[in-house]
Amino acid sequence: MKAVTVPFFISHQGCPHTCVFCDQRTISGASGVLPASEDILARIELWRATSGSRPLEVAFFGGSFTALPKAIQAELLLPLQPLLNNGTLDSVRISTRPDYIDAGHVEWLSNRGVRTIELGVQSLDDTVLASSGRGHSAAASLNAIDCIKNNGVNVGAQLMPGLPGDTPVTSLHSLEQVIAAGADFLRIYPTVVLAGTELARRYGAGEFAPLSLERGISLCTLLLQRAMQADVPVIRIGLQADCGLDVDHVLAGCWHPSLGQLVRSKLYADLLCRYIPPGKCVTVSCHPARVSDVVGMKRNNLLTLAGRGVQMQVIQDATLKKEELKVTTEDTCTIYSISKDITYSIHEV
């Protein structure tokens, strides 16, 4: 049963750097003030009351948790210990920088209920990292993933295609490297230009050309499909839209409030266009959770197929996997998988 995540945003707390793209307070919509113990417990109780029988996970997002003074880390984790011991809480998740991880620290965190650590890898190209002001090398990310895995803790990698100096080739190489290193899951955040950042200055001065929405969707489609082929979950694509991230803050780049759906819908559309000949009348079955992706935003996939003379009906089938489609015509019935039956070339992006 999937855990309910109780989030706490500690924007930019602990981080010694200001990367060229970074405005954590805008991204999270939070002030960055660390929550007091009573606030932590109150929020957990509020979420517990509506979670039913699902397990609870506390997550500290936004800042670099392990770069905080050790005493503050202990203070944040302390009120969680009785809840972990009595089963009210199932686990704790943190996010941090790759260069603030070592084996002793991971063991210390694990002993206090931390079961997942998300790393802001962003890229595994040293030139891209230097151009973005990250302050660490690609080797630091690979070492951190290895250290976390060796201590029995789940590790996630956050990637940011489209950073200064990045290309589709380097983005794909970064994804392939974190998968090979053993990342348990990924987040893909295409670079956006936020007001007030160094990247905004470069963009305004003509020194940086961000990904467009169209190119970003194509690149994310490639990355998602490669991750699916490796059976590594991508748990989010694109920054989350909330009260702190809107059109007034996003100056340029690949951002849309439903970017993940646009990417998944493209995968399904490309699969359908490849395997359904023009002029056919078909019924497409999919997992109930994927109906909106198969239909497409504003029914765009249906319209695309209709433009090819295809009459398509979409129905639910809970026996199918989320990546599967069953295409039924008057003559045939075939199950396709977007992780196996379609591939993309880096040259298409």
d(CA 199, CA 193): 6
Tokens read off for 176: 């392939």
Between the alpha carbon of residue 138 and those of residues 99, 125, 166, 199, 233, the distances in Å are 10, 6, 14, 21, 22
Residues 176-187: tens digit of each pLDDT: 999 999 999 999
Reported as a pLDDT band with limits 50, 70 and 90, residue 24 is: low
d(CA 132, CA 228): 28
Tokens 């909106």, located at residue: 292
d(CA 300, CA 349): 21
| Predicted confidence (pLDDT) at residue 62 exceeds the cutoff of 80 | no
Return phi, psi of residue 46, to 5°. -60, -45
* Mean of pLDDT over the chain: 92
pLDDT of residue 30: 45
Residues 300-316: tens digit of each pLDDT: 999 999 999 999 999 99
For the residues 217-238, what does the mean pLDDT come to? 96
Domain 4-189 has CATH 3.40.50.300: no
Query: DSSP secondary-structure letter at 245?
Result: B
d(CA 316, CA 289): 9
pLDDT of residue 268: 96
Query: DSSP secondary-structure letter at 240?
Result: P
Domain(s) of CATH 3.20.20.70: residues in the chain? 4-189
Reported as a pLDDT band with limits 50, 70 and 90, residue 12 is: low
- Kindly state the helix (H) or strand (E) to which residue 44 belongs, with its residue range: helix 37-48
Domain(s) of CATH 3.30.2320: residues in the chain? 274-348
Amino acid identity, residue 296?
A: G
pLDDT of residue 132: 93
Helix axes 168-181, 138-150, angle to 10 degrees: 20
Reported as a pLDDT band with limits 50, 70 and 90, residue 258 is: very high
Please enumerate in sequence order all residues whose Cβ is within 8 A of that of 83, keeping only pairs 6 or more positions apart, or say none.
Answer: 44, 89
| Predicted confidence (pLDDT) at residue 32 exceeds the cutoff of 60 | no
For the residues 6-16, what does the mean pLDDT come to? 76
Q: What CATH code would you report for 274-348?
A: 3.30.2320
Q: What is the DSSP pairing of strand 154-159 with strand 114-122?
A: parallel
Our CA dihedral for 131, 254, 287, 52, rounded to 10 degrees, sits at: 80
